[in-house]
Amino acid sequence: MHIVRYRSDSDPRPRIAVIDEGVLSTLPVAGMFELLNHRIEDIERMCADAVPDRVLGEVRLLAPVDGATEVWAAGVTYLRSRDARVEESDLKSVYELVYDAERPELFFKSPAWRVVVDGEPVGIRSDSELNVPEPELALVVNRFEEIVGYLVCNDMSSRSVEGENPLYLPQAKMYAGACALSSGIRPAWEVDPSDLAIRLTVTREGAVIWDGTTSTRQIRRPLTELTAYLFHSENHPHGAVLSTGTGIVPELDFLLHVGDLITVSIDEVGELRNPVVAGKDHFRFLSTP
């Protein structure tokens, strides 16, 4: 079962539903932001009580976040991410220090309206030479700091911008098309997240040019440590999505090209497929209702 946002031809308003084997059961909430205002046991009960009312072929799935829900991300939570950043950066020690530090690296990634979903393009900056996808498990957290579900996230990143100076991190991480999420939230009561395989495949002109795998077992910190820091000094009244960092980073000579297809899949959570484009003009659709 997954929880999705959808729109149908008969009703322009986005709705929230549970989907199971292609059948949707709409939930009695105004948006995902309202669902994330509930405790996990209420969300589970709402999902169990929902009545089937349409099928997948009748709807378009939307990004799984709305309202004031923000996407945040953690960094350098896998050894591979630490090593890759030490290699690319002129200032190595910041990554070595943060991997071992008590306080994790957390950064703002995207407001809900900038998120792209499965099938939509992801972007590379027009001023960046070295760009990579970052396949990550993302946590969906309600306003009470409970992990209510899981998503697949691609934390698109410019390695050349970040590598030049870590203070450029916001520009390396936040730009048009940089945040992709899978459409369906896998409920937390159905999944044990402690050892899920994460896979990245990059396809160019029909051929796989790069692939890699890791497991959530490799993450250095408990997931609840990351959510605790996210809520430590900030309120998230519409809940939040927290991406947990990448354990897969291609070698430094790997460059994404326009037209590449990126596929990220996480066992039991979902799959995310996005073609690569360059520049902000491709993302005007995000700001038109």
Interface residues with Mg ion (CB under 5 A)?
134, 155, 246
d(CA 147, CA 152): 14
Phi, psi of 180 (to 5 degrees): -115, 135
What distances in angstroms separate CA 14 from CA 125, 141, 149, one per listed residue? Answer: 30, 20, 20
**Could you say whether residue 123 binds ligand DO4 (CB under 6 A)?**
no
Instruction: Find, among 119, 133, 116, 136, the residue nearest to 176 by Cα.
Output: 116
**Could you say whether residue 263 binds ligand DO4 (CB under 6 A)?**
no
Pairing of strands 116-117, 179-181: parallel
Contacts of 46 (CB under 8 A, 6+ apart): 27, 28, 29, 35, 38
The pattern of x and - marking residues 232 through 251 that bind ligand DO4 according to CB under 6 A reads -------------xx-----
Among residues 27 and 84, whose Cβ is nearest to ligand DO4? 84
Phi, psi of 53 (to 5 degrees): -140, -5
d(CA 253, CA 173): 20
- Find the binder of ligand DO4 among 66, 105, 118, 146 (CB under 6 A): 105
| Residue 264 exposed, middle or buried by CB count within 10 Å (0-12, 13-18, 19+) | buried
Among residues 134 and 260, whose Cβ is nearest to ligand DO4? 134
**Could you say whether residue 274 binds ligand DO4 (CB under 6 A)?**
no
Among residues 8 and 89, whose Cβ is nearest to ligand DO4? 89
Tell me which DSSP letter residue 185 carries. Answer: B
Residues within window 143-162 making contact with ligand DO4, judged by CB under 6 A: 155
CB 24 within 8 A of CB 4: yes
Nearest distance, CB of residue 232 and ligand DO4, angstroms: 19
**Could you say whether residue 88 binds ligand DO4 (CB under 6 A)?**
no
Residues within window 36-75 making contact with ligand DO4, judged by CB under 6 A: 73, 75
- Find the binder of ligand DO4 among 25, 37, 69, 81 (CB under 6 A): 81
d(CA 31, CA 45): 17
Among ligand DO4, Mg ion, none, residue 260 binds (CB under 5-8 Å by kind): none
Instruction: Please report which helix (H) or strand (E) contains residue 32, including its range.
Output: helix 32-35
d(CA 86, CA 163): 9
Among ligand DO4, Mg ion, none, residue 70 binds (CB under 5-8 Å by kind): none
Strand partners, 276: 122
Among ligand DO4, Mg ion, none, residue 261 binds (CB under 5-8 Å by kind): none
Please tell me whether residue 58 adopts helix, strand or coil conformation. Answer: helix
**Could you say whether residue 134 binds ligand DO4 (CB under 6 A)?**
yes
Among residues 50 and 73, whose Cβ is nearest to ligand DO4? 73
Among residues 66 and 105, whose Cβ is nearest to ligand DO4? 105
Nearest distance, CB of residue 185 and Mg ion, angstroms: 19
Q: How many Å is the maximal CA-CA distance in the chain? A: 56
Nearest distance, CB of residue 246 and ligand DO4, angstroms: 4
Residues that bind ligand DO4 (CB under 6 A): 73, 75-77, 81, 85, 105, 134, 155, 169, 245-246
